[in-house]
Amino acid sequence: MERFELDILGCGSATPTTLHNPSSQVLNIRDKLFMIDCGEGTQLQFRKSKLRFGRLNRIFISHLHGDHCFGLIGLISTLALLGRTGDLYIHSTTGLEEILRPELNFFCRDNPFQVKIETFDPKVNEIIYEDRSVTVKTIPLKHRIPCAGFLFCEKQKDANLRADMIEFYNVPIKERARIKQGADFVAEDGKLIPNKMLTRPAEPARSYAYCSDTAYSEEIVPIIEGVDLLYHEATFANIDKGRAHETGHSTACEAAGIAKMAKVKKLMLGHFSARYPDNKVLLDEAREIFANTVLANEGLSEKL
């Protein structure tokens, strides 16, 4: 099975701690690296995770709070030092161009590649990127400023041909692509050979949803329903629920409630407040509602 793997580079919230770095993660889909958010120090975490800078495909910024984008200029500068020549695309809400372009003009004016910023509407659930392997959709979130999560859906691969049956029925090479895509086959004697006799199903396509930062919102449930892995912010424990609502964030219990309603396969909590020296309190609260829950942590690599 080809790669569909999540690497956590940072899962803390805005206040710096010695436990966690600011938000950033990388999703490896068939050896293309998609970065999601880019907090301060992301380039160092990228190196620690032994990821290949040359594989970085695109960057998706959920919103323009500093702990989700302060690392961009450092990362871009490092990419230039390492000899990148291909253009770098960043997907973001409106405003990043005005923030980042002056820094690029000052610090990176001699870069051998262009930084191209593509904006999206965080209020709309729509496809903002697509290639042969994946589609990426926005997930409208509720925060203090415009903010969106991202839904990565692997494209279903064609069925696998059964070599023994292909040989037995002497299927011509020119017919095999159609059969992989679901067509039946008519043998030389006119007999119809059903597709299911000639193929085996491919591995199911995988999906990943990233939801940070957001207040509790049941509106996202239909969008993320059934995903293999949901990363949902859990900034606060239940005792601080009032603070969560004041700041446009979620508790671990609320994240677990969303996971349960959406029938996701696995929940990962992240974006932890600096007030908790041990995030196990968040894990314990979430598991009371949704058992298959884990904590994000720097260096964690989750295979889907």
Q: What is the fold, at CATH topology level, of the domain defined by 4-157+203-303?
A: Metallo-beta-lactamase; Chain A (3.60.15)
| pLDDT at residue 16 in the model | 87
**Which residue is catalytic, options 7, 37, 67, 213?**
67
List pLDDT tens digits, range 265-285: 999 999 999 999 999 999 999
- Tell which residue, 90, 89, 85, has the closest CA to residue 111: 85
| pLDDT at residue 188 in the model | 87
Q: What is the DSSP string of 80-135?
A: HHTT--S-EEEEESTTHHHHHHHHHHHHSTT-SS-EEEEE--TTS--EEEE-SSEE
The pLDDT of 169-186, averaged and rounded, is 93
The pLDDT of 141-157, averaged and rounded, is 97
Please give the model's pTM, rounded to 2 decimal places.
0.94
Contact 186, 170 (CB under 8 A): no
Query: Catalytic: 67?
Result: yes
Is 291 in a helix, a strand, or coil?
coil
pLDDT value at 250 more than 90: yes
Confidence of residue 180 (pLDDT cuts 50, 70, 90): very high
In the chain, the percentage of residues whose pLDDT exceeds 90 is 98
Which H or E run contains 177?
helix 173-180
The pLDDT of 49-71, averaged and rounded, is 97
The pLDDT of 234-244, averaged and rounded, is 98
The domain ranges of the chain are: 4-157+203-303, 160-200
* Mean pLDDT, the chain, integer: 97
